[in-house]
Amino acid sequence: MDGNIARLKNVIDEAERIVLFTGAGVSVPSGIPDFRSAGGIYEGKFAGYDAEYMLSHSCLVNNTQLFFDFYKSKMLYPDAQPNAAHLYFAELERRGKLLSTVTQNIDGLHQAAGAKRVWELHGSVKRNRCAKCGARYDEEFILASEGVPRCEKCGGVVRPCVVLYGENLDGDVLQGAVDDIARADVLIIAGTSLAVYPAAALPDCFGGRELVLINKTPTARDDIATLTVYGDVAEVCRALEG
């Protein structure tokens, strides 16, 4: 067994309260592209606009049809299934090792794998609401809609419960994540470059024993880690089970 994998296994075995913090790299093995890598969602233009604009509050309000053209084609992966990483960490939670998962992902795959305590910093594509009356809708409603999704009750625009550029994170979700990270004795950060704030600042709330970074490439915060493991997160988790 690779030395870093062996050390990570030992860290997990000795831990009492692990918090997992995940980014897009955890879901790439499930067929969901990340944002900033070659071939990622942010590569190129869409109708002449950068992806950051397409996923902004301004685009939703001022170019609503364009927003949903992009959103439906680039952000929804209803057939994606949890991979080895989602399943491994959900099992750690079931065993009482994992306190919670803090995620920047919006795909709901941690919950699909069985995770119960998940702080979704950027919301979820699985939840949608009418901007006018607040009625709730699922992902299937958005996928089945033609053009701009409209509320069946009042005709208002049904928008995803996803934090867009220009919008604030949910305060209760953020506080829950901060509190759990502060309580953890081990923080495992997986599949994220730690380049997007304020989420990238969350590791600064950790004061526990071991801070582990698992990512394919070095991150902007490698210097704060007690252990770095470079590789595909799902493959690392399969190695941990071996």
Contact indicator for 148, 65 with CB cutoff of 8 Å: yes
Containing 183, the helix (H) or strand (E) segment is: helix 171-183
Active site residue 122: yes
Residue 203 preceded by cis peptide, ω within 30: no
Sequence-ordered list of residues with C-beta below 8 angstroms from that of 15, at least 6 positions apart, any chain: 97, 185, 186, 210
* Catalytic-labelled residue, pool 57, 86, 110, 122: 122
Report the Cα–Cα distance between both ends of the chain, in Å, rounded: 9
As a whole number of angstroms, the distance between CA 181 and CA 100 comes to 9
Residues with a known catalytic role: 122
